[in-house]
Amino acid sequence: MDTAPASDRPDDQRQQEDSPYVEVQASAEFGELRRTHRSFAFPLTIAFVSWYLLYVLLSNYADGFMDTKVAGNVNVALVFGLAQFLTTFLIAWWYSRHAAAKLDPQSAAIKSTLDGGA
């Protein structure tokens, strides 16, 4: 971290520190936006990666279980594999709804502050 007085710093560094983006980044509104995003994205990412790794591990080490017939030639492995695609699309849909309802209004408020509209 640079501890030199602002007058001793290069012009580009002073401009960067005086930037409105730095102020917005330090604001409570931006912190709330980040918390809202992280509280949704991180747990869902962990859950999906766990679900995916379970599928991979079962495919490698539980041949008998994954080969269990569900209906006709459809086995558990095929059902789990198709469920991977389904959960991917469901998560994308759920995130888009979350972003539209929670993240977009918060980011629009921050953007209007930056544009001088607030």
pLDDT in tens, 32-71: 999 999 999 999 999 999 999 999 999 999 999 999 999 9
Q: How far is CA 54 from CA 9, 57, 59, in A?
A: 53, 5, 8
Q: Calculate mean pLDDT across residues 73-86.
A: 96
Q: How confident is the model at residue 24 (pLDDT cuts 50, 70, 90)?
A: confident
The CA radius of gyration of the chain, in Å to the nearest whole number, is 24
The closest alpha carbon to 33, from 99, 84, 117, belongs to: 99
Sign of the CA dihedral running 54, 55, 61, 64: positive
Residue range 87-103, pLDDT digits in tens: 999 999 999 999 999 99
What percentage of the chain has pLDDT greater than the value 90? 69
Question: How far apart are the C-alpha atoms of 54 and 89, rounded to whole Å?
Answer: 18
- Whether 15 shows a pLDDT value over 80: the answer reads no
Query: What is the number of other CB atoms lying within 10 angstroms of the CB of residue 21?
Result: 10
Q: Where are the domains of the chain?
A: 28-115
Q: pTM of the entire structure? A: 0.73
CA atoms of 33 and 45, how far apart (whole Å): 18
